[in-house]
């Protein structure tokens, strides 16, 4: 049985998640990343450019270069984050997958919870 990392902040338990996403261009990924951080839906978004993707789409094998986006957030922010990404994304079916964080460096996980809160508790 896996244990999820949880942190109690202001009486609420926060589960940390990484959100794995892809975008068709660096410009699109940058716009999405900036919006997620600005709106505090994510504490941070990493962009990994020039990823080669191979997949089936409408019965055909596709090969594309994409940008990987990894957003750090809390479980309670995921539904709104998904809606925001879908509204900005050029794909019909964008890759947006939540991966629970099972542990890590406590101060970093605290920072994610604080920075992805609608209102920062520490003013960072």
Burial of 11 (0-12, 13-18, 19+ CB in 10 A): exposed
Burial 93-124 (b: 16+ CB within 10 A, else e): ebbbeeeebeeeeeeebbbbbbbbbeeeeeee
CATH 3.40.50.10490 fits 13-115, yes or no: no
pLDDT tens, position by position, 92-122? 999 999 999 998 998 999 999 999 988 755 5
Strands 12-23, 6-9: pairing is antiparallel
Q: How confident is the model at residue 14 (pLDDT cuts 50, 70, 90)?
A: confident
The stretch 6-24 carries a mean pLDDT of: 75
Q: Which residues pair with 14 in a beta bridge?
A: 7
The residue extents of the domains of the chain are: 13-115
């Amino acid at each position: 049985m896996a244990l999820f990392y949880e942190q109690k902040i202001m009486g609420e338990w926060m589960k940390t998640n990484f959100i794995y996403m892809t975008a068709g261009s660096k410009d699109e990924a940058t716009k999405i990343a900036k919006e997620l951080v600005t709106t505090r839906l994510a504490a941070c978004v990493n962009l990994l450019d020039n990823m080669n993707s191979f997949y089936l789409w409408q019965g055909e094998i596709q090969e594309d270069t994409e940008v990987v986006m990894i957003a750090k957030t809390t479980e309670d922010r995921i539904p709104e984050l998904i809606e925001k990404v879908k509204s900005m994304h050029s794909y019909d079916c964008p890759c947006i997958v939540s991966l629970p964080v099972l542990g890590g460096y406590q101060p970093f996980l605290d920072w994610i919870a604080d920075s992805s809160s609608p209102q920062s508790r520490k003013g960072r």
